[in-house]
Amino acid sequence: MSTNADKLYYSIGEVAKMFGVNTSLIRFWEKEFGKWIKPHRSKSGSRYYTKDNIDQIRAVYKLVKVEGYTLQGAKDVLNEGADEKQSNEEIRKTLLKAKALLQQLLDAENSFD
């Protein structure tokens, strides 16, 4: 399941081959996991997958094929990961604001010295 480091886009056939599955399964996962798997489309409708898309497919593959999750179970796990990521981002922003405020207080205190 490796990708060529120089390549930007992969066809559905290439992606299916990476995972040892049929292209129909990739299409099915795209339909079922459309919130996470969103390949680029050409004007003719051909799908082109980025490395990020492939990582998302890899996550679905691992959950469904390796760990044995149901489709709904895999969606739940992916949703939890997205919620955790958003929560971590909110915490990071709050900490950056606190850091900036503390720096302002330090700067103000140092200006009186």
For 59-101, how does the pLDDT look when each residue is reduced to its tens digit (9 = 90+)? 999 999 999 999 999 998 888 855 455 555 666 677 778 788 8
Tokens representing 48 are 């082109």
Residue pair 26/57 in contact (Cβ under 8 Å)? The answer is: yes
Tokens representing 93 are 């922003």
Q: How far apart are CA 101 and CA 84, in angstroms?
A: 26
pTM for the complete prediction?
Answer: 0.65
Q: What are the boundaries of each domain within the chain?
A: 10-82
pLDDT at 88: 57
Per-residue pLDDT for 32 more than 90? yes
Residues of the chain with pLDDT > 70, as a percent, come to: 84
Structurally, what CATH architecture does the domain formed by 10-82 represent? Orthogonal Bundle (1.10)
